[in-house]
Structure 1
Amino acid sequence: MTIGVVGSGAFGTALAVALAGKGRVTLWTRSAEQLREMAEQRSNAARLPGVTLPDALSVTGDLADLAGCEALLLAVPMQKLRGLLQQEAASLEGRTLVACCKGIELDTGEGPVSVIAECLPGARPALLTGPSFAADIARGLPTALTLACADEATGAALQGALSTEMLRVYRTTDTVGAELGGALKNVMAIACGAVMGAGLGESARAALMTRGYAEMVRLGVALGARAETLAGLSGFGDLALTCTSEQSRNYRLGLSIGRGEAFDPTVTVEGAATARAVAAKSRGMGIDMPITFAVEALVSGEHTIAEVMSRLLARSLKPE
C-alpha cells in the first residue's frame, strides 16, 4: 500500500520519515518555505531538528502528486481538519483517509473520524493514535500505536502498511473509544502539568491521572466506546506518556499555567479546545467530569490553580 502524508508538522514529518524505510512516501506541505528547505536541505529543522529526510521521502506542495497513494495520513491539527477536508474535497473524496490528530472539534463536539465521515461520505476514514512523540518516531525508537477503523478489511490493510520494525500498530474497530482516548488524555495532561508547575507534588499528579482516567471511561462508555479500548494504547497508554513528559505541548501548557508564566500562543495545544468542547458535551449529557471542568476554567483564565484545586478537594466524599 502506497502512503502519502498530508501535513508537514513534526508528527506528519516523523511518520513520513519512519514509513520511508519501507518504500516511497510523499509528504505534502502548504508552506513554500518548508517545501524549499525539505527539498534542498533534506531537513525540517524547525519541527524535527537533527533528523535527515531519507531519499525515499518525496516532498511536494501540490496535493495532486498524492493522487496515486492508496492511503493518506492527515497530519493536521484537529481544529483545522474540517477546513482541509472541505477545501480539498475533490482530491480527498473516496480515498482511504487516516486522521493523525487528537482532539474534539470545538464547534461540533465531534472527533476526527466523525468529521471525515461527515465531510466526505465516500471516504474510508480511520484514526492513528496512541502514546508517541514525533521525535521518537523519527529517530526510529520503539513505539506502539492504535489504528482505529470501522471496516475490518481496511483496518487490516492499514495495520500492515503502517507497521515497521520499530513502529508496532495494533488495530480496533472502536473508533469512538480511540477518538476519545486521544482527545481526553490531552485535557488530563494540562491538569497534571498545572499541578506540577504549581509545586503540588507527584502524589497529586498520580491522583489526577487516576481520577482523570475514570472521567475518560465514564464519558467514553456513555458515548458508545468500549472500556477496554480506553484501557489500551489510545487511552491509558497515551495518558501515561502525556501526563509525565515535557515533550507534551499539553503538559507544558499546564506547567506554564501552574507557574503563572506566559505560553507561546503559536504552539498548537489540542487539549485547550478539547476541554471546552468536552465540558459542553458532558454538561449536556449530565455527566460529571470535575477535572475537565477545572481545566476548562484554567485555560479560559476563569479560575486560578489554587481555586480549582480547592474546589476539587472540597468535593463530597464517595466510594471509588
Structure 2
Amino acid sequence: MTDAPAFGVVGAGAWGTALAQTLARTGRPVRLWARDLTMVKILTARRENTRYLPGIPLLEGIEFTDRLSEVAEATDAILLVTPSHGLASVCRHLSPFLDPHHGVPLVVAAKGLDAESDRPLSDLVKDLIPAHPVAVLSGPNFAKEVAVGLPAATVIAARDVALASRLADLFSTANFRPYASSDPLGVELCGAFKNVLAIACGIAQGRHLGDNARAALITRGMAELTRLGKVMEVQTETLIGLSGLGDIVLTCNGLQSRNYTLGIALGEGLKLQDILAQRRSVAEGVYAAAALHRMALKAGVDMPIVAAVDSILTGHAGVEDVIAGLLARPLRRET
C-alpha cells in the first residue's frame, strides 16, 4: 500500500466502484475496500470491476484492499457504500481502526433505512461511530454513467451545512456536481422511498398498464412522500430536489434501475425469491418497503402505494388484488 489515501470507499459494488472512480478524478488517491481477497486480486490485476461494472477501465489513482484498517487511514472522507442491511456490521468492524481524535467524516452513500430499527442509516452510523461527523450522499445517479464520467448531479447533506459544503467541494469534478444540503433526514427518506416507488412503477410496466398508470403512480407517490415529509419535518425543497423528485424520475423510468426492473419481473409473474436468486446486486426497495410502511403507520400517515408494495413483497397479497385495491380506493380531492 502507498501512503494514506485522501478518500476511502467501503464497498466495491457498482455504486461504490463508481464513486471511487469519481473521487479519483479529483486527482487525490482513493482506496476501495472489497469484502473478499479474490475480488481485490481481480480489481488489482485487471483494473476493472468485472462483476458489477464490466468493460469500464478503473483509474490508476484507485488502490484496492480487503482490510478495513487500510480504508480507515483516509484523511479527507470515508464513504460507506454497502447494502443497508450490512451497514451496521461494517461500522462495527471499521470503528476500532478509526482515530477518534482525527474525526474523518463518514459519508453514507447507501439508500435505505435500517431494517431492524426503521431509522435513517446516518443515525445508525452516528450511534456506532459517535466520534466522527456523518453526512449522506444521494441523488439521481446510475452507477455506470457516473463511472464513465457522464454529467451527473447529487446531494451531500449534513446537519452541519459547512461540512456538507466542504465535502461537496472535495467531491466535485468537471462532470460530477454535488449540491450541499442541511437536511440529511429528508435526503434519506427520499432515497428509501424512491426505490419502493420504482418497484411499484416496474410492476405496472410488467403488467402492461401503460405510461398513464406510471405517471399517476409517480405523482401520487410524490403525494405520499410529501405527507410523510411534513410529519417528519423535512424540507420541502428536499422533496422536490435532486434526491427527491430528481431521483424518483430516474429510478421509476430507467432500465438501469435495479428496483424498477425487479418490479417489472414481479409484474410479469416471477416470484421474488427467484428474482433475487438470479441477481448479484441488491434492490434496496425490498428492504425499505417494510420499514417505510411501519414508519407510516407509526406516524399516522396514509401511504397506500408503499403499503401495496410491502404486501406484494411479503407475499400477503397478489399483484392483481393489489392493483384492484388501489383502483377501488375512494375518490378524493387532489389537495
Interval containing the TM-score (normalised by the shorter chain): over 0.9
Size of the alignment, in residue pairs?
A: 320
Q: Which of 254, 279, 298 lines up with 1:245 in the alignment? A: 254
Instruction: Name the counterpart of 2:82.
Output: 76
Structure 1 equivalent of residue 276 of structure 2: 264
- Deviates further, 83-92 or 151-160: 83-92
Alignment of 1:137-152 (within 5 A): 137-152=146-161
Cα shift at 1:73: 0.7
Q: CA deviation at 1:311?
A: 0.7
Structure 2 CA distance, aligned partners of 1:59 and 1:95? 20
CA distance 1:48–1:111, shift in 2 (3 Å): same
Structure 2 unaligned residues grouped into runs of 5+: none
Q: Is the 8 A contact 2:75 2:104 kept in 1?
A: no
Deviates more, 1:163-172 or 1:117-126: 117-126
1:17 aligns with 2:21: yes
Please report the TM-score for the alignment, with normalisation by the length of structure 2: 0.93
Q: CA deviation at 1:254?
A: 0.5
Q: Secondary structure at the match of 1:117?
A: helix
C-alpha separation between the residues in 1 aligned to 2:161 and 2:252? Answer: 32
Gaps of 5+ in 1: none
1:195-245 deviations in Å (ceiling 9; x for gaps): 000111110000000000111111122112111111000010000000001
Q: d(CA) in 2 for partners of 1:273 and 1:32?
A: 28
* 1:95–1:122 Cα contact (<8 Å) kept: no
Distance 2:45 2:93 in 1: 28
User: Of 118, 121, 131, which aligns to 1:109?
Assistant: 118
What's the TM-score once normalised by structure 1's chain length? 0.97
1:160 shift after superposition:
0.5
1:203 is aligned to 212
Residues 161 and 180 in structure 2, CA contact (< 8 A), matched pair in contact too: no
Q: Does structure 2 conserve the Cα–Cα contact (< 8 Å) formed by 1:116 and 1:123? A: no
Write out aligned runs for 1:1-320 (5 A): 2-23=6-27, 24-66=29-71, 67-92=73-98, 94-261=103-270, 262-265=274-277, 266=279, 267-320=281-334
Using the alignment, how far apart are the partners of 1:205 and 1:188 within structure 2?
10
Residue type of the alignment partner of 1:76: T
* CA RMSD, 1 decimal: 1.3
Distance in 1, Cα, partners of 2:329 & 2:74:
56
Question: Once the 2 structures are TM-superposed, how far is the Cα of residue 87 of structure 1 from its aligned partner?
Answer: 2.1
User: Would you say the 8 A contact 2:105–2:134 is kept in 1?
Assistant: yes
* Cα drift, residue 141 of structure 1: 0.4
SS of 2:187's partner is helix
Separation (CA, whole Å) in 1 of partners of 2:30 and 2:192? 27
Check the 8 A contact 2:37/2:65 in 1, yes or no: no
User: Cα distance, 1:68 vs. partner?
Assistant: 3.7
**Per-residue deviation, residues 244-269 of structure 1 (Å, max 9, x unmatched):** 01111111110011000241334411
Contact 2:201 2:218 in 1 (8 A): yes
